[in-house]
Amino acid sequence: MNLERTMSQKILIVEDEASLVMTLTDRLQRNGYEVDSAGDGEVGLEKALTGAYDLLLLDVMLPLKSGFDICRKVRQSALDTPILFLTARGQTIDKVTGLQFGADDYLTKPFDMMELEARIEALLRRAAPEASYSFGNISIDFRSAQVTKNGVPVVFSAREFHLFRYLVEHRGATLSREELLTEVWGYDAMTSTRTVDVHMAWLRQKIEENPKFPVWILTVRGMGYKFTG
Ligand code: CA
């Protein structure tokens, strides 16, 4: 999965739940990441501000300083380290408010480890964008925004390409229609989630062998979509 990674990337976990830190550390190390951790907000902030990390995994409710405090201070110091928040169930965090603190993504506890890994990989990919990506008989050149199928160019609208790129960057993650609307269409979009479905149907027409039985863009019942390429 991480064969393309030549230098190990460093993740800082700031979390006061020791058992979760152990589980996360173990799992992420097995995936080839270097992992460091802090059990409270002050130590977490101190470490985060060194800028030595490729990604910060922050709990929100922490002793001494909250995850939001850390996030805000990190952004104030002009560090653009990707930040993924781990939020407790029932802790409703308005995504827009959170993004004002400079966070990049959220995951609600309890979360699926595969989902966390997919989110982490997506954030690291965005920080160091890939020039191209291939799956099945499809190739994407991100720099020229060109997609080819069996070597033949496929025409994408700007929106379709943006959506496709988001799917590829978040491969393996389950993406809700709301997230896709926010990320691909923008916060103020007066669009309905139906728009997402329509565009997914168009993407399937372009990349799937049989759009009626998609193998790359899957519908996750009651959740949204998942790209498996
Ligand atoms: Ca906590």
Q: How far apart are CA 225 and CA 154, in angstroms?
A: 22
How far does the centroid of ligand 1 lie from the alpha carbon of residue 62, in Å?
Answer: 5
pLDDT of residue 1: 43
pLDDT of residue 228: 95
How far does the centroid of ligand 1 lie from the alpha carbon of residue 228, in Å?
Answer: 32
How far does the centroid of ligand 1 lie from the alpha carbon of residue 106, in Å?
Answer: 14
How far does the centroid of ligand 1 lie from the alpha carbon of residue 183, in Å?
Answer: 27
Split at pLDDT 50, 70, 90, the class of 184 is very high
How far does the centroid of ligand 1 lie from the alpha carbon of residue 86, in Å?
Answer: 9
| Residue 79 in this model has a pLDDT that exceeds 70 | yes
| Residue 90 in this model has a pLDDT that exceeds 70 | no
Which residue, chain included where needed, has tokens 């995936």? 31
For Cα atoms 122, 227, 216, give the angle at the middle one, nearest 5 degrees. 145
pLDDT of residue 2: 44
pLDDT of residue 78: 87
How far does the centroid of ligand 1 lie from the alpha carbon of residue 88, in Å?
Answer: 8
Split at pLDDT 50, 70, 90, the class of 206 is very high
Cα 120 vs. chain centroid, distance in angstroms?
Answer: 6
How far does the centroid of ligand 1 lie from the alpha carbon of residue 174, in Å?
Answer: 25
| Residue 212 in this model has a pLDDT that exceeds 50 | yes
Q: Which amino acid is at 28?
A: L
Is pLDDT larger for residue 20 or for residue 96?
Answer: 20
pLDDT of residue 91: 65
Residue 56 · residue 82 · CB < 8 Å: yes
Q: How far apart are CA 33 and CA 126, in angstroms?
A: 17
How far does the centroid of ligand 1 lie from the alpha carbon of residue 145, in Å?
Answer: 42
Full strand arrangement of the beta sheet holding 138-141: 132-135, 138-141, 146-149, 152-154
| Residue 28 in this model has a pLDDT that exceeds 60 | yes
How far does the centroid of ligand 1 lie from the alpha carbon of residue 20, in Å?
Answer: 10
How far does the centroid of ligand 1 lie from the alpha carbon of residue 47, in Å?
Answer: 18
pLDDT of residue 104: 86
How far does the centroid of ligand 1 lie from the alpha carbon of residue 36, in Å?
Answer: 17
For Cα atoms 89, 90, 94, give the angle at the middle one, nearest 5 degrees. 100
Q: Which amino acid is at 184?
A: V
Mean pLDDT of 32-42: 97
For Cα atoms 31, 33, 37, give the angle at the middle one, nearest 5 degrees. 120
| Residue 67 in this model has a pLDDT that exceeds 90 | yes
pLDDT of residue 3: 46
pLDDT tens per residue, range 132-174: 999 999 999 998 999 999 999 999 999 999 999 999 999 999 9
How far does the centroid of ligand 1 lie from the alpha carbon of residue 162, in Å?
Answer: 35
User: Minimum mean pLDDT among 56-60, 100-104, 178-182: which range?
Assistant: 100-104
How far does the centroid of ligand 1 lie from the alpha carbon of residue 60, in Å?
Answer: 6
How far does the centroid of ligand 1 lie from the alpha carbon of residue 181, in Å?
Answer: 30
Give the rounded percent of residues in the chain with a pLDDT score beyond 70. 91
